[in-house]
Structures are given as C-alpha cells and as structure tokens.
Structure 1
C-alpha cells in the first residue's frame, strides 16, 4: 500500500502513513457516536533476533501439546475394560510413532537412546494388549486418536534442541498420566485379566518416567 492510500473493511477505514496504519473505527449505532482513531504500529525490523524463534516456537508447541493432552479420553474416564485396553494401545502406538520421529529429528545421543528404549518396550506391551483383547473378545480401535495425530503434527516444525526439549517435556507429562491410569485400572478394573496386565505394566511405565526425567535433565546441560 502506498503513502496516503486507503482501504476499507467491515466497520473501519485504514490509512498507511510512514509505515504506520491509521485505523478509523466507525461508530456503533447504539453505543458510540464519536469515531475513534488509534495507531497500529508497524513492526520494527530487527526488533526480535532470529535466534529467538526456536524458543518461541518450542513454547508455543509445548502449549499446544498440553492442550492436546488435556482433551484425550483417558482410561480413568471409562469403566469398561475394553475401553481401557483401547486407550492403552492407542497411547502405545502414539508413543512408538513419536519416538520414530525423534530418531529422525534428534541428534542428541540421550534422546536417541530414550526413543529406542520406548519403541522396544511399547511394542512388547502393545503385543500383550492385542493378545489379551483377542482372547477376551474385546475390540480395539485402529490407529491412533485425532488428538494424538495433532500432537505428532506439532513436532513437525521443530528441529535441534527445540525439538528435544518439547519431545522430552511431552514424554515426562505423558508417562505421568499413563502411570495414573494403569494404576487405577490395576486397582479398580472389573476384569481380573486386564487388572493383571495393568499391574504388570505399571513398573515399566515408572521406569520410563524416570528415564524421561533423567534425559530431560541431560539435554539441558
């Protein structure tokens, strides 16, 4: 837009003068009879160094992951044992897929080691879940949930240390949730076989949480 040029949008007129947008807000018929002017400052070039961008991006993605995690239907929200198994196997699949992303994106040795351990353990646990569900006649969902897909998509723009930080924060939070839900099922589940599986898996998940916390500390050094 050139100096002194105008544009109109719903309820307002704007003029660009020396890099600043002068916005004239039209009065609302029943609320204000005096037009108001306000200056919308144009961004100053170089105001935010490019090196800040990974930090800003990682914080934004971390926030998205927290929101996504809060919307997932978890095992303690349902009482049917088949629902617990369905939620558990989707969590396992999502863990495996996110760790496969980490193997491609991270160059940190401790993050790589963590991802490999998670893939091995969760593949084993998923196989147990599938076997038990088949034996008991419980139907399991295919793939992972929409929310889990969105969580993985949030990892995509991150690289380097920004990825490692968000990935490990996610794993600490996620394994805390997993421990709670598996513990609850082990104590209160209605199917004794499912209770036994949940009880046997809980110590492994505790090991995962400990390893996630240790890895998170390592990448900050």
Structure 2
C-alpha cells in the first residue's frame, strides 16, 4: 500500500513539473516561435530571409493595430484619434493580406505582438491625455521611418516574387502614414 501511495505521489509530482514546464512555454515570444518554425521549414537561406522579413512585418503590423486601439482609448486630441483609427483600419487590412499570403506560402507568422512590443505597449498604457498624444505621435514617426525602410528594402531586394510585390504595394501607404505622423507630431507638440 505504501508503494502505491509513493508511486502515486511520484506521478503527481511529475505531472506537476510537466505542467509547470508547459505554462512556461506560453510566455515564449510569438515572433521568435514563428522565426524558429520557418527556419525548420525552409532550407534555402534566400527564402528564409523573406520569411524573417514577413515575421517582422507581421509583428510591426499587429503593433500598429494594438497601439492604435490604445490611442483611441488614452489619446485626447482629435487628430491623434483620427490617425489612430486609420492605423487600426489600414494595418488590420494589411495584416489580413499578409496572413493570407503567409498561409498560401506555408510561412508561419506570429499570432501576437512580440514581447518587446508588448513591453512598449504596457509603458504607453501608463500615459493619458496630452502626454499620451505626444508619446504616441513620436512613436508613430519612429515606427513608420523604420517600417518604411524595411518595406523598401524588401521591395528592392526580396527573393520571393509575391512577398516582394506585396511589400512594394505597401510603400506608398507607409509614406503617407509617415507624412501624417510627422504632421500630427508637430501639431500635438505645438499644443503644449
């Protein structure tokens, strides 16, 4: 009887340890998991570069949607909320296009924003009103400069024709977003 109880306790301990290990995996960065999955699927380093780009583009697009939703809640200036709604709408549509293309090409894309972007979102959520407006528009200028360069580079140097064409098709929209973000940044800073 003691052996049965001991075996039962041992099994229960092993299940507890195993379940703890599983919950730890849930906090794994979705972006990193997608990159790892793609590395296992694609041997060609040229294709791998395009998949890494697609993972980064998906992460950036989801970030724009999430921080845009936050701006609708925490922002105060009308132009900030208007810009944020445009970010949510435009990037939601672009994210869907990218996800559809990824599915057709067997590219694994992240299901949620990366841990570093989640940390940035948490920091942004601490701000409200004018302070939020300034921080959000600053962030939008920085983000759109980086993402625009990233998309131009893929449009010029990508190896996969579909990924390359999709990136090229978004450049004009990103340029427009950057211009609006710069104007919005100036506008909210002038209100202080």
TM-score (norm 2): 0.73
Check whether the contact 1:99–1:116 (CA below 8 A) recurs between aligned residues. Answer: yes
CA contact (8 A) 2:80 2:133 kept: yes
1:146 aligns with 2:115: yes
Displacement of 1:156:
2.0
Alignment of 1:61-80 (within 5 A): 80=49
Is the 2:74–2:125 Cα contact (8 Å) retained in structure 1? Answer: no
Match of residue 67 from structure 2: 98
**Structure 1 residue 184 corresponds to structure 2 residue 153:** yes
Q: Which structure: greater helix fraction?
A: 2
Larger radius of gyration: 1
1:80 is paired with a residue whose SS is helix
1:165 aligned to which of 115, 118, 134 = 134
1:203 aligns with 2:172: yes
Structure 1 position 137, deviation (Å): 1.2
Name 2:83's counterpart in structure 1.
114
Poorly superposed stretches of 4+, deviation over 6 Å: none
Deviations 1:13-57 (CA, angstroms, capped at 9, x unpaired): xxxxxxxxxxxxxxxxxxxxxxxxxxxxxxxxxxxxxxxxxxxxx
Larger strand percent: 1
Return the alpha-carbon distance in structure 2 between the equivalents of residues 209 and 79 of structure 1: 28
- Contact residue 79 and residue 189 of structure 1 kept, 8 A: no
Instruction: Find the aligned partners of 1:133 and 1:157 in 2 and give their Cα distance.
Output: 34
Equivalences, count: 145
Q: State the shift of 1:220 in Å.
A: 2.2
Task: Determine which of 82, 93, 103 is the counterpart of 1:124.
Answer: 93
Distance 2:158 2:172 in 1: 17
> Is the 1:96–1:123 Cα contact (8 Å) retained in structure 2?
yes
- Structure number with higher relative contact order (C-alpha < 8 Å, ≥ 6 residues apart): 2
Whole-Å Cα distance in 1 between the matches of residues 176 and 72 of structure 2?
20
Matched position secondary structure for 2:127: coil
Aligned to 2:23: none
Secondary structure in 2 matching 1:137:
coil
The aligned residue for residue 134 of structure 1 is 103
1:156 paired with 2:121, answer no
In the alignment, the residues of structure 2 paired with residue 196 and residue 162 of structure 1 have an alpha-carbon distance, to the nearest angstrom, of: 38
